[in-house]
Amino acid sequence: MDRMIIRRMEYYGYHGVFDEERKLGQRFYVDLELELDLEEAGKQDDLSKTVNYAEIHMTVKEIVEKKSFKLIEALAECIASTVLDTYTRVDALTVAVTKPHPPFDIHFEGVTAQLRRSRK
């Protein structure tokens, strides 16, 4: 299966277990790996034969910036189901949501929830 990979889309959202996270917000990164047939789009150089990654970016932006979840796992699940419901050319996808600066008194680069979903 062909893949379209959209890396490190950056958004500002209000997600987290702690009230302060949902009040103040923070930066999140989203990576998508979409599985779909890209052959016709490549042969015909035709956007209508693929998915528009600018539209997908705006779809994800709407979710991350307008909704609020306690867990990045729930945010990733919402992104996955919305993309599959909206873009019927996508057969399966992998979503990774990264919280680069979790509010812990330990030092690490960030935490990522990654999941893969497909049409049943």
Q: Is 82 helix (H, G, I), strand (E, B) or coil?
A: helix
Distance from first CA to last CA of the chain, Å, rounded? 16
Check 66, 70, 99, 120 and give the catalytic one: 99
- 96 and 26 Cβ atoms separated by less than 8 Å: no
46: Cβ contacts below 8 Å, ≥ 6 apart: 40
Is residue 99 annotated as a catalytic residue, yes or no? Answer: yes
Q: Please identify every residue annotated as catalytic.
A: 99
